[in-house]
Chain A
Amino acid sequence: MIKLEHIRRSYVSEDIETTALADINLEIAAGEFVAIMGPSGCGKSTLLNTLGTVDRPTGGHYWFHDSDLMTLNEAGLAQFRAETLGFVFQSFNLIDELTIEENIELGLVYRKANGGNRRKRVVEAMDRVGISHRARHYPNQLSGGQQQRAAIARAIVGDPRMILADEPTGNLDTENGLQVMDILASLNADGATVVMVTHSPSHADMAQRRIDMLDGRVVASAARAI
Chain B
Amino acid sequence: MNTFSLLRLYRSLTRHKLYSVLNIGSLAVGIAVFLVLGLYVRFETSFEKWLPDHDKIYLVQTIWHIEDSPFNGAFPNTMGGLLEQIREDFPGTVGTRIMPTPINVIRNGVGIEEQGAQVDPEFFDVFALPMVAGNGPATLNSPSGVLIDQDTAEKYFGTLDAVGQTLTLTTGVDGKTGTYTVGGVFQNLPENTDLNFKVLGQLPAVQTAPWWYRWGSTSLFTYLRFPTPAAAQAFNAKLDGFVNRRGMKDLGPETPTKWQQLAVLPITAAHLTPAGGQAASLSQSVIAMGVVGVIALLIAMVNYINLATARAGLRAREVAMSKVLGANRNVLIRQFIGEAVLLVALAALVGLSLAELALPWINAATEMSLAIPYALAVPALAVLALVVGIAAGFYPAVLLARYPAASVLASARAPGGGRAGARVRELLVMFQFALAISFMVGTLVLAAQTAHVRSADVGFKRDGLIVVRSMTQAEPEQIQALTAGWRALPMIHSLTLADNSAGGSGTNNANSIEIPGQPGPGPSLQQIVVGPDFFRTYGARLLAGREFDLAHGADDFANRKDGVPVSIVINRMGASALGFASPEAAVGKTVGKGNRTFTIIGVIDNMRFLSPRDATTATYYSFTARMDEYATATLRYSGDLRTAMDAVKGTWLQVAPQVPFDASSADQRLAELYKSDEQATRLFTIGAVLAVLIGCVGLWGLASFNTVRRVKEIGIRKTLGASTRDIVLLLVGQFLRPVVIANLIAWPLAWVALRNWLAGFSDPVVLSPLYFVAASVLALLIAALTVSVQSLRAARAIPAWALRHD
> A67-106 CB contact bits vs B (8 Å, 1 = yes)?
0000000110011111101010101111111000000001
Which residues of chain A come closer than 8 Å to B725, judged between CB atoms? Answer: 75
The answer to whether A54 touches B799 (Cβ under 8 A) is: yes
- Asked if B803 lies at the interface with its beta carbon under 8 angstroms from chain A, I say yes
Q: Check B407–A93 contact: CB distance below 8 A.
A: no
What distance in Å separates the Cβ of A1 from its nearest Cβ neighbour in chain B?
19
Most chain A beta-carbon contacts within 10 A, residue among B407, B722, B724:
B722
Q: Does B723 touch A at the CB level, under 8 Å?
A: yes
B721 touches A97 (CB 8 A): no
Partner of A75, one of B409, B411, B723, B798: B723
Contact across chains for A106 and B422 when beta carbons are under 8 A apart: no
Are the CB atoms of B715 and A106 closer together than 8 Å?
Answer: no
CB of A8 within 8 Å of the partner chain: no
Check A91 against B798 for contact (C-beta < 8 Å): no
Report B-chain residues with C-beta under 8 Å of the C-beta of A78. 718, 721-724, 726
Interface residues of A in 198-213 (CB under 8 A from B): none
> Which A residue sits closest to B419, measured CB to CB?
A97
Known: A93-B412, A97-B422. A56 touches B721 (CB 8 A): no
Chain A residues near B413: list those with CB within 8 A. 95-97
Please, how many angstroms separate the alpha-carbon atoms of A110 and B422 in the complex? 24
Separation of A91 and B720 alpha carbons in the complex (Å): 16
Taking a contact as CB atoms under 8 Å apart, the answer to whether B724 and A75 are in contact is yes
**A89 CA to B805 CA, complexed, in Å:** 14
A81 near B719 with CB under 8 A, answer yes
A94 and B720 alpha carbons, distance in the complex (Å): 12
Query: Does A128 reach chain B (CB closer than 8 Å)?
Result: no
Q: What residues of chain B lie closer than 8 Å to A81, measured between beta carbons?
A: 718-721
Which of B410, B411, B419, B799 contacts A171, CB < 8 Å?
B410
Closest chain A residue to B422, Cβ basis:
A97
Given A97-B413, A140-B411, CB of A55 within 8 Å of CB of B720: no
| Contact assessment for B717 and A110 in the assembled complex, using a CB-CB cutoff below 8 Å | yes
14 A-B residue contacts at CB 8 Å?
Answer: A54-B800, A55-B800, A79-B721, A81-B720, A85-B719, A87-B720, A94-B412, A95-B413, A95-B716, A97-B413, A109-B720, A140-B407, A154-B720, A158-B721
- A35-68 CB contacts (< 8 Å) to partner B: 46, 49, 52, 54-56
Instruction: Knowing A97-B422, A110-B726, say if A52 contacts B716 (CB, 8 Å).
Output: no
Asked if residues B412 and A95 are in contact (CB atoms below 8 Å), the reply is yes
* Interface set of B (CB-CB < 8 Å, partner A): 407, 409-413, 418-419, 422, 712-713, 715-726, 796, 798-800, 803
Provide the bound-state CA to CA distance between A198 and B556, in Å.
113
A46 and chain B: residue at smallest CB distance: B800
Query: Is A107 an interface position by the 8 A CB rule?
Result: yes
- Interface 1/0s, chain A 159-197, versus B by CB < 8 A? 000000000000100000000000000000000000000
Residues of B within 8 A of A46 (CB): 800
The interface residues of chain A lying within 8 Å CB-to-CB of B798 are 54-56
A6 on interface, CB distance cutoff 8 Å: no
Q: Is A111 an interface residue (CB 8 A)?
A: yes
Instruction: Chain A residues near B803: list those with CB within 8 A.
Output: 49, 54, 89, 93
Q: Which residues of A contact B409 (CB under 8 A)?
A: 91
Q: Select B720's contact among A56, A75, A82, beta carbons within 8 Å.
A: A82
Determine the chain A residues whose CB is within 8 A of the CB of B799 once the complex forms: 49, 54-55
Q: Which residues of A contact B712 (CB under 8 A)?
A: 93
Asked whether, in the complex, the Cβ of B716 is within 8 Å of the Cβ of A110, the reply is no
Whether B721 contacts A82 by the Cβ 8 Å rule is yes
A-B pairs, top 4 by smallest CB distance, nearest first, are A82-B721, A55-B800, A110-B721, A78-B723
- Which B residues are CB-close (under 8 A) to A95? 412-413, 713, 716
Roughly how many angstroms separate A171 CA and B410 CA in the complex, as a whole number? 10
A82 to B718, CA, bound (A): 8
- How far, in angstroms, from A140 to B713 measured CA to CA in the complex? 15
**CA A96 to CA B709, docked complex, whole Å:** 12
A106–B724 alpha-carbon span in the complex (Å): 16
Q: How far is the CB of B410 from chain A (nearest CB, A)?
A: 5
Contact for B719 among A52, A79, A94, A109, CB less than 8 A: A52
How many angstroms from the CA of A140 to the CA of B404 in the assembled complex? 11
Residues in A with CB closer than 8 Å to B715 are 54
Residues from chain B with a CB closer than 8 A to the CB of A56 are 798
Shortest distance from the beta carbon of A162 to any chain B beta carbon, whole Å: 12
Chain A interface residues (CB < 8 Å from chain B): 46, 49, 52, 54-56, 74-75, 78-83, 85, 87, 89, 91-97, 106-107, 109-111, 140, 154, 158, 171
Inter-chain contact B410/A79, CB cutoff 8 Å: no
Compute how far the CA of A191 lies from the CA of B719 in the bound complex, rounded to whole angstroms: 21
Chain A residues, CB < 8 A from B713: 95
- With the chains together, A97 CA to B721 CA distance in Å? 20
Give complex CA distance A32, B236 in Å.
102
Task: Flag if A111 contacts B721 (CB, 8 Å).
Answer: yes
Closest Cβ of chain A: how far from B400's Cβ, in Å?
Answer: 16
Nearest CB on A from B772, distance (A) = 34
CA of A49 to CA of B716 in the docked complex: distance in angstroms?
A: 12
Q: How far is the CA of A54 from the CA of B718 in the complex (A)?
A: 8
Q: A111's closest neighbor in chain B, by CB?
A: B721
Q: Which residues of B contact A91 (CB under 8 A)?
A: 409-410
Query: Roughly how many angstroms separate A168 CA and B799 CA in the complex, as a whole number?
Result: 19
Find chain A residues with CB under 8 A from B796 CB: 74
Contacts of A80 in B (CB 8 A): 721
A31 to B441: give the CA distance in the assembly, Å.
Answer: 63
- Chain B's closest residue to A108 (CB) is B720
B419 pairs with A110, CB closer than 8 A: no
- The answer to whether B722 touches A110, judged by C-beta atoms less than 8 angstroms apart, is yes
Cα-based distance from A55 to B407 in the complex (angstroms): 28
Report the minimum CB–CB distance from B317 to chain A (whole Å). Answer: 14
Known: A55-B800, A92-B410, A106-B717. 20 other contacts (CB 8 A): A52-B719, A54-B719, A54-B803, A55-B798, A55-B799, A74-B724, A78-B718, A79-B721, A81-B719, A81-B721, A82-B721, A85-B719, A91-B410, A93-B712, A94-B412, A95-B412, A95-B413, A95-B713, A110-B723, A140-B407
B21 to chain A, nearest CB (A): 25
A49 to B407, CA, bound (A): 26
Q: CB-CB < 8 A to A82: which residues of B?
A: 720-722
Q: Nearest-CB distance from B125 to chain A (Å)?
A: 74
Whole-angstrom distance from the CB of B301 to the nearest CB of chain A?
A: 27
Return chain B residues, CB-CB under 8 Å to A79.
Answer: 721, 723
With both beta carbons as reference points, the residue of chain B lying nearest to A164 in the complex is identified as B719
**Contact between chains at A106 and B720 (CB < 8 Å):** yes
Taking CB atoms, residues of chain B closer than 8 Å to A89 are 803
CA distance A52 to B798 in the complex (A): 12
- In the complex, how many angstroms separate the beta carbon of A62 from the nearest chain B beta carbon? 14
CA distance A171 to B430 in the complex (A): 41
Closest beta carbon of chain B to A134's beta carbon, Å = 17
How far is A67 from B716 in the complex, measured between Cα atoms in Å? Answer: 25
Q: Complex formed: what's the CA distance from A46 to B413 in Å?
A: 22
Provide the bound-state CA to CA distance between A33 and B664, in Å. Answer: 96
User: Complex Cα distance A114/B53, Å?
Assistant: 83
Nearest-neighbour CB distance to chain B for A32, whole angstroms, equals 21
Q: Which residue of A lies closest to B724 (CB)?
A: A74
* Residues of B contacting A106 in the complex (Cβ-Cβ under 8 angstroms): 717, 720
Closest CB of chain B to A152's CB: distance in Å? 13
Closest to A112 in B: B721
Specify which chain A residues have a CB less than 8 angstroms from the CB of B800 in the assembled complex. Answer: 46, 49, 54-55
A81 to B720, CA, bound (A): 6
- Shortest C-beta distance, A104 to chain B (Å), equals 11
**A96/B411 in contact, CB under 8 A:** yes
Q: Which A residues lie within 8 Å of B411 (CB)?
A: 96, 140
Q: How far is the CA of A89 from the CA of B802 in the complex (A)?
A: 13
Residues on A with beta carbons closer than 8 Å to the beta carbon of B716: 93, 95
Question: With a CB–CB cut-off of 8 A, which chain B residues contact A154?
Answer: 720
